[in-house]
Amino acid sequence: MATLTTQPAFNAGDVAWTICPGLGFFYSGLARTKNALSLMYLTVLSVGVVSLQWYLIGYSLTFSDSGSSFVGDFAYVALRGVGLAPHVGAPTIPASVFMIFQMMFACITPALAFGAAAERMSLGPAIIFLFVWSTFVYDIVTCWVWGPHGWLAALGVMDYAGGTPVHVASGAAAAHGF
């Protein structure tokens, strides 16, 4: 006897809105004309480097269901086990869509910090900064606030717009010169 598996009830509107493109190029439009190309370049670089970091370990360190209250574990390393089943933090969309949505926050956050370094950072240090900062600052702070077991989330911190992981983390990086 064949068993029927039930598919989760995804909301088409939630899925469509979640995969809308990010606003990375918006930040270069806020700079002076002479810095716009540099910021656009660094934003594209941020998307490339942070996407790789997010694929390898970032998503797992941030959103693993079995991690601690301070940092996740390697349950989702290289996106192992991330598929069409809903994520615990987003029951109306597939975990893979949730991962892509959260990846855009991860990519844009260091791009915000680059506004403080317009035309003052070369390629090599920028790549190293992006990977290391995303791993040891963004992923951990985001786990605290948005992770399934995050200690700030457990204290009742409500952050729907990214004020803590995105704006506070990037602002602190920019204020301290990375």
Range of the domain at 52: 24-175
Is 18 within a domain? no
Which residue stretches of the chain have pLDDT < 50? Answer: none
- In this structure, are residues 43 and 51 in contact, taking their beta carbons and an 8 Å threshold? no
The pLDDT value recorded for residue 108 is 83
The pLDDT value recorded for residue 4 is 56
The pLDDT value recorded for residue 28 is 65
Is 3 within a domain? no
Is 14 within a domain? no
Is 1 within a domain? no
Is 44 within a domain? yes
- In this structure, are residues 89 and 65 in contact, taking their beta carbons and an 8 Å threshold? no
Q: Which of 82, 80, 73, 46 minimizes the C-alpha distance to 143?
A: 73
Q: Name the residue type at position 52.
A: L
Q: Name the residue type at position 40.
A: M
Q: Render pLDDT for 92-144 as a digit per residue (tens, 0 to 9).
A: 889 999 999 899 889 888 877 776 766 677 778 888 989 999 999 999 999 99
